[in-house]
Amino acid sequence: MCLLTYLPPGTTPDPVALSIGATANPHGHGFAVIAGRRIITGHSMNAESAIDRFTTVRKRYPRWAALFHSRYATHGDRTVANCHPFRLGGEARTVLAHNGVLPKRVHPGPYDPRSDTRIAAEDYLPGAPFGSIDTHRGARRLAAWLGKSKLVILTVDPAYRYSAYLFGEKAGRWDGGIWYSNTSYLPISVRWPTQPRRYVCWYCGALKANRTSRHCGTCGWCFECEANFPDCDSAVSPSSDRISPPPPRAITPTAHH
């Protein structure tokens, strides 16, 4: 799933929303805050420390754009090295964070511990395979490659026209002036106010009206022992407990000053 949060200039993060999103996406957290001519980043496997540091840095530098990311792992090890955001080509002036699954071209091969987004940031996108994202053609081609994913790029590199780029805006949600890539930042009671508890995953909040497995098909939560698949203590049925991602949504690229 993952939760990617974009904060335009002048907006203040909502620590409660970030904490709820981090609970549903527990495999690492990170942030980036533009601070004048540099970008301050932080990464942690501990959600509380990452959110605390982010809110502190953001309070100091509210004038520019910022982002926060909580990861739900689909590719790569669950380590700090795979926490978003990533430097684009190792360049500290430009970072990116992503929500979704990228094309197979950047999926890790055997024994590669990196995530698909990390591979894209380190090996593929630095070569500008789609041209400049400051052109309509380049932005459209990158959006087409992303498919149904969402991407935020922050930069202080003067080679770029803007300091922040948001791809997949329409697939996310604006709330209080802040953009969230999905609704996993909302309390479950808000996401599914009319659904009985038995129809909802009370870990990630996904609707499971026709649930036949003991595991949530979105996040892997076990309804019996309350642990994530495959680390639960309950017996696993190979035919019924396959974990599949939620259906993706369409995107449209947007640039923000």
Instruction: Convert the pLDDT of each residue in 27-76 to its tens digit.
Output: 999 999 999 999 999 999 999 999 999 999 999 999 999 999 999 888 88
Residues 171 and 225: their CA atoms lie apart, in Å, by 33
- pLDDT over 70 at 138, yes or no: yes
Token pair for residue 79? Answer: 């380590």
- pLDDT over 90 at 211, yes or no: no
- pLDDT over 70 at 168, yes or no: yes
Give the residues across from 87 on adjacent strands: 95
Token pair for residue 172? Answer: 């996310």
Identify the band that residue 236 occupies on the pLDDT scale cut at 50, 70 and 90. Answer: very low
* Upper half-sphere CA count for residue 120 (Cβ side, 13 Å): 26
Q: Which residues contact 30 (CB under 8 A, 6 or more apart)?
A: 41, 42, 43, 44, 50, 68, 69, 71, 83, 84, 85, 97
Q: Which residues contact 216 (CB under 8 A, 6 or more apart)?
A: 201, 203, 204, 206, 208, 223
pLDDT at 223: 62
- pLDDT over 80 at 106, yes or no: yes
pLDDT at 194: 58
Q: At what angle do helices 47-60 and 15-24 cross, to 10 degrees?
A: 150
Give the residues across from 215 on adjacent strands: 222
Residue 132 DSSP class:
-
Rounded to 5 degrees, what are φ and ψ at 168?
Answer: 90, 25
Domains, the chain, ranges and CATH?
3-184 (3.60.20.10), 187-247 (no CATH)
Q: Which residues contact 247 (CB under 8 A, 6 or more apart)?
A: none
pLDDT at 198: 55
Nearest Cα neighbor of 251 from 104, 145, 116, 136 is: 145
Residues 127 and 125: their CA atoms lie apart, in Å, by 5
pLDDT at 42: 98
Any idea which of 58-67, 143-152, 190-199 has the lowest mean pLDDT?
Answer: 190-199
Any idea which residue has 């090295």 for tokens? 81
Residue 124 DSSP class:
I
Nearest Cα neighbor of 183 from 20, 41, 15 is: 20
**Which one-letter amino acid corresponds to residue 76?**
G
Residue 131 DSSP class:
-
Question: Does residue 224 contact residue 214 with C-beta atoms inside 8 Å?
Answer: yes
Residues 103 and 244: their CA atoms lie apart, in Å, by 16
Residues 199 and 195: their CA atoms lie apart, in Å, by 6
Identify the band that residue 210 occupies on the pLDDT scale cut at 50, 70 and 90. Answer: low
